[in-house]
Amino acid sequence: MITFVLLAAALTVAGVIAVAIPLLRRGTGSPTTPAPWAALAATVLLVIGSAVLYVSWSNWPWRAVIPADSPQSMVARLARQLERDPQNLDGWLMLGRSYIALQEYPLALRSFERADRLSGGQNAEALTGEAEALVLTDESELSGAPGGSSSGRSLWHRTRARRCSSGARSPRAAETCRWRGRAS
């Protein structure tokens, strides 16, 4: 936008020069005298007229309301709302998605874990959100051999260990934790 305004100003100055110079020039051999007042009037008319016409005919939103909320402040407001209503499953899921969008992956993981606890391990979005946050936290876990990482422990095993240590809520999750205990 600033480039366009500068170009418009340059064109206005060029128009003023094109009109004012002939009015100020004394003709050779002609009885005409310079007209400084006419040059000044033409200059003022061109500058003010072009500005007024541009503002009135343009489609630029001159009086547009600038949004007062940034994404960070909206997410902070949602987090404060969830402090007052901690049983809001949809709120925790939205907070997790918001933290992912802001690239706050550890906070997203905590939000999705909270949503998973609230749903008793029955919400697919909470589980996939947890997995996404874990992967985005450390993308190096995706490299290496399938089913394992360079540290010898796969992302799946670490996720299961986190879920089992936090207490499995559903019968299927409890069975998986018992199976994991027998396998180790």
Of the listed ranges 24-33, 63-72, 139-148, the least confidently predicted one is 139-148
Closest CA to 112 of 101, 103, 102, 123: 123
* pTM attached to this predicted model: 0.48
CATH number of 71-140+155-183: 1.25.40.10
**What share of the chain has pLDDT > 70, as a percent?**
67
Q: How confident is the model at residue 117 (pLDDT cuts 50, 70, 90)?
A: very high
Supply the pLDDT for residue 146: 52
Supply the pLDDT for residue 183: 46
Q: What does the alpha-carbon distance between residue 184 and residue 167 come to, in Å, rounded to a whole number?
A: 18
Q: What does the alpha-carbon distance between residue 60 and residue 8 come to, in Å, rounded to a whole number?
A: 14
172: left (phi over 0), alpha (psi -120 to 50) or beta: alpha
Can you give the residue ranges of every domain in the chain? Answer: 2-26+38-57, 71-140+155-183
The tens digit of pLDDT for each residue in 46-56 reads: 889 888 888 88
